[in-house]
Structure 1
Amino acid sequence: MIHYHGTPCGATRIDVARFLSGRHALIPFVRSEDIGTAAEFCQSFCVDNGAFSAWKQGVVIDWETYYEFVREWHRHPAFDWAVIPDVIDGSENDNDRLVEQWPMDLRSIGVPVWHLHESLDRLEHLTRSFHRVALGSSGDYSSPGTSRWWSRMGDAMRVACDEHGRPKAKLHGLRMLDPAIFQRLPLSSADSTNAVRNSSNYSRFGTYIPPNASTRMAIIAERIESHQSRAVFGSSDQLVMFD
């Protein structure tokens, strides 16, 4: 699977370049200051529409501006894909409308989001219609890793995978770059800001604390990257965990 590390890194340009070199990055539209560095040093990068951050902060995004931003970058050789605009706690009609409005010239690199609070019918439709589908935690399932979340994810996997447990489309886990999560799911990719967010948490490093941010971020990233997702989902798997 591809491990996408969320940005911005919040460090010096040298530290950002050192950390991203040879890795995969997720660039949020609302904080895209690291995209030039990612384009230069990453193996690949994808672009997130920023809906989650906007939802948390109560900000409204101009989607036309986002479309133009994607157009500017999508021909770069390291560009992978872009998340189609979505409303985190919106209705299925809201999100279907945004999928329909996604520009045709960007169709091949657009990835829709299925939110866990939405119907399984919508998930089935998206996996039949798109090469890749992103899974987003929302509503009563907004916290990845809880028992309620795992129960819903089990339902989702039984819809998104065929009778052999193979995903019908590539699956991306939004905010799921945690080995305790992605090792149990047949994800093609996942993302999180774990490496960046926790690089200043010195308790993560024991007695010998690396002096620079790039090394601290790299240590956390390497611990994550040493794990891989499952190849298939077993229909009899019990994904419910106790909190």
Structure 2
Amino acid sequence: MNNSNVVHGLPINGKHNGRPAIEALAGGSFLASYWYARPGSNKIGKQVDQAIELVGEDEIFFLDNGAFTAFKNGISIADDAAYLDGYFDWAADVLKRCPQAVAIIPDVIDGDTADNRRMISEAIGSGIDAERLVPVWHLHEDFDYLKDLVEEFNHIAIGSSGDYWKVNSEDWKCRIAKMFGFLDALFEDDEFAAAYVKPRIHMLRGIAVMDAWEFDSADSVNIAVNHNAQKKRGEDLDAFRARVETKAKNGHGYADPKLGTIAEIAEEIAAWKLKRIAERDAALVEDNIINFKAAA
């Protein structure tokens, strides 16, 4: 068993022991997609607010941009300025209220490196702290781009794409093995290892394979979609969750432990901002004193 995060996709509907089913996931990790929270198509209801209250102290609340769902519907969000602005505003609001939250940078699933670099630039330009942004490296993209992301971010999501679209196919497993081999080779270089830390690796749609690889976290909607059917088979939501999470946590993560938890990073950012504000205010006071003395 390890401290990896098993991330449950929302929304989850129905009841458990007379209470909303989401409450049975208390203390865990969540993923909410803006695709379901956006104005005019709010299928997620109050569950974002509930997840903020229910997420565990050392867990993660992923804010997903909805690119995958849009892609399955033949839609690209990459050039929809109104959608992107709405996502960044929504994510920024949740990030302020939830120290465990991180925002997945909008991505072009079948795009190239230039497309996704543009998305990173837009995300950073949104004003969200880079430490709370998670870029997506797609399995069809080159490893040089993955190296760039390791140098720029401490948290990277992996997206299945191209010839590696189907999670756990033979091609997918071969590509994932090469990815981890590439990462290991990077950090076997003493100079590189001294300059950078092993990032958190999140596998999108990957809970089912989490135990077989060094993923620090993975998500799926398995619990949300199937808990009612499992109940009819005699397995209630508590037992279903325990079984899924126990299997997923049989693996071990990749990240350097010194990264700390998501909440700890958020607290460090907040403390740094307060320090900068105090320094700025002190400098303004000093300038005013100097100006006053000069005028006298």
% same residue: 29
1:230 to 219, 239, 252: 252
| 1:91, distance to aligned residue in structure 2 (A) | 1.5
| 1:128, distance to aligned residue in structure 2 (A) | 1.6
| 1:112, distance to aligned residue in structure 2 (A) | 0.2
Conserved 8 A contact 1:128-1:169: no
| 1:103, distance to aligned residue in structure 2 (A) | 3.0
Partner of residue 5, structure 2 = 2
Structure 1 unaligned runs (5+)? 234-243
TM-score of the aligned structures, taking structure 1 as reference length: 0.83
Q: Say whether 1:91 aligns with 2:112.
A: yes
Partner of residue 192, structure 1 = 220
Partner of residue 36, structure 1 = 49
| 1:36, distance to aligned residue in structure 2 (A) | 1.1
| 1:79, distance to aligned residue in structure 2 (A) | 3.2
1:151 to 157, 171, 174: 174
Partners of 1:224 and 1:129 in 2: CA distance = 33
What is the correspondence of 1:72-91 to structure 2 with a 5 Å cutoff? 72-91=93-112
TM-score of the aligned structures, taking structure 2 as reference length: 0.69
CA distances 1:179-236 after superposition (whole Å, capped 9, x unpaired): xx2122221111111111222334x864xx36xxxx43x3322112113222569xxx
CA distances 1:147-200 after superposition (whole Å, capped 9, x unpaired): 110001111111223339x9821101101111xx21222211111111112223
Partner of residue 46, structure 1 = 62
Number of aligned positions between the proteins = 222
2:200 maps to amino acid = K
Partners of 2:97 and 2:124 in 1: CA distance = 18
CA distances 1:9-43 after superposition (whole Å, capped 9, x unpaired): 13359323422311111111112322011112221
Partners of 2:117 and 2:240 in 1: CA distance = 37
Partners of 1:60 and 1:152 in 2: CA distance = 25
Structure 2 unaligned runs (5+)? 38-43, 78-82, 256-296
Q: Say whether 1:137 aligns with 2:157.
A: no
Partner of residue 25, structure 1 = 30
Q: Say whether 1:183 aligns with 2:206.
A: no
CA distances 1:113-157 after superposition (whole Å, capped 9, x unpaired): 000011111111111210100001011101111111000111111
Which 4+ residue blocks in structure 1 deviate beyond 3 angstroms? none
Give the direction of change, closer, same or farther, for the CA distance of 1:101–1:146 in structure 2 (3 Å limit). same
Partner of residue 238, structure 1 = none
What is the correspondence of 1:163-174 to structure 2 with a 5 Å cutoff? 163=188, 168-174=198-204
Q: Say whether 1:160 aligns with 2:183.
A: yes
Partners of 1:112 and 1:9 in 2: CA distance = 26
Larger Cα-atom Rg:
2
Partners of 1:123 and 1:29 in 2: CA distance = 25
Partner of residue 239, structure 1 = none
| 1:92, distance to aligned residue in structure 2 (A) | 1.5
What root-mean-square deviation, in Å, do the aligned CA atoms of Structure 1 and Structure 2 show? 2.3
CA distances 1:40-83 after superposition (whole Å, capped 9, x unpaired): 22214121111100101123441111010011110223432110
Partners of 1:29 and 1:77 in 2: CA distance = 16
Counting helix residues as a fraction of each chain, which structure ranks higher? Answer: 2
Give 3-state SS (helix, strand or coil) of 1:5's partner.
strand
Give 3-state SS (helix, strand or coil) of 1:27's partner.
strand
Partners of 1:124 and 1:29 in 2: CA distance = 28
Partners of 2:218 and 2:67 in 1: CA distance = 17
Give the direction of change, closer, same or farther, for the CA distance of 1:72–1:11 in structure 2 (3 Å limit). same
Partners of 2:52 and 2:254 in 1: CA distance = 32
1:194 maps to amino acid = N
